[in-house]
Amino acid sequence: MRRTTRRLADGREIIYFDADPASPPRRAEDLRELSPQPGPPEMRRDPLTGEWVAMAAHRQDRTHRPPADLCPLCPSAPGRLSEIPESDYEVVVFENRFPSFTRFPGSGTPEPSTDGPGPVERAPARGRCEVVCFTSEHSGSFAGLSSEQARTVVDAWADRTAELAESPGVEQVFCFENRGEEIGVTLHHPHGQIYGYPFVTPKTDQYLRTAREYERRHGGNVFGDMLAAERASGERVIRESTHWTVFVPPAARWPVQVMLAPRRHVPDLAGLTDEERDDFAVVYLDVLRVLDRLYDTPMPYIASWQQAPVRTGRELCWLHLDLFSVRRSADKLKYLAGSESGMGVWINDVTPERMAEWLRGL
């Protein structure tokens, strides 16, 4: 694979990933006149939960459902300049123009302050937000990629995971894809995002606490033991391959939810071998195509890579992709109502065993 780094007109980084090192070089310049990037957003720690919340008011102005001929993720063409200066590309990653977390001079994590009223800590929202374009084709989805194209995306994810982990102040790297207007997608071009957070996320922090307690009590890895039990039972397993297992989690929160996990204990995407990456590309495309057949309509989903934090708990975390959908039937969506949104107590409308049976049948 060949990796080419360039700069956009406002100084943001753009990186092209080409599977064939002999592909034409990436030399196109960004000819747009762009305003300078805004200063770093602020983040505030909730004094009641201890969780950080980013305040990024500039995101109100981000691009919202543009027509196809004005898509900012398509390649540039005469009279239509986009975020990607090249006239074509395979996979490209660039810094988000409307980031929730952003890089700025200095090193280390800024010390929070309590300058405002009350016990609310504040700090600059240092980090990194990137956009990942899976293909130059505007129409389609990840499921429409070839296994070779999907493998290039995996390599891009792994590359960004490794590099962002070395960035000052980044504590966790999160690669994800939102698909479908039901999820809230505002750009229909097949793409995902990568966040470099300046803290360990609340979900991962809770996972680490549970994993440490499980290890203390049972002497094993909680995800590894769960995966072994699922493979032994097979009741919720959808597919097995040489290196990956696809299953519905035993306490699934969403009506459609599947996990893809490597059989080997790996902390993050950068740790996957070439064989594991090849195998994942084939298995994941099959899973996505099955999901689109479940209700005979494109499945809206969030696909989120659960990776180990950069500096803590790496031995406890087991890399896996958690994919879930708000669609609970062909014509119904699951809304996070009182119990889920108000108290964080989930109620699933479909049992994991039933969903696994349906998906296996496809």
Angle between helices 274-294 and 352-361 (to 10 degrees): 100
Q: Does the annotation place 317 within a ligand binding site?
A: no
In angstroms, the Cα distances linking 142 to 137, 271, 300 are 11, 23, 12
The span from the CA of 262 to the CA of 171, in Å, is: 23
Q: Does the annotation place 189 within a ligand binding site?
A: yes
Whether the Cβ atoms of residue 334 and residue 254 lie closer than 8 Å to each other: yes
Side chain identity at 262, as an amino acid letter? P
Residue 286 Ramachandran class (φ > 0 left, ψ -120 to 50 alpha, else beta): alpha
Catalytic residue among 191, 218, 265, 320: 191
Q: Does the annotation place 64 within a ligand binding site?
A: no
Q: Does the annotation place 129 within a ligand binding site?
A: no
Q: Which two tokens stand for residue 98?
A: 């409307």
* Helix, strand and coil in the chain, % to nearest 5: 25, 25, 50
The answer to whether 320 is a known catalytic residue is no
The span from the CA of 178 to the CA of 301, in Å, is: 6
DSSP state of 78: T
Bind-site residues for Zn(2+): 71, 74, 138, 189
Bind-site residues: 71, 74, 138, 189
Residues assigned a catalytic role:
191
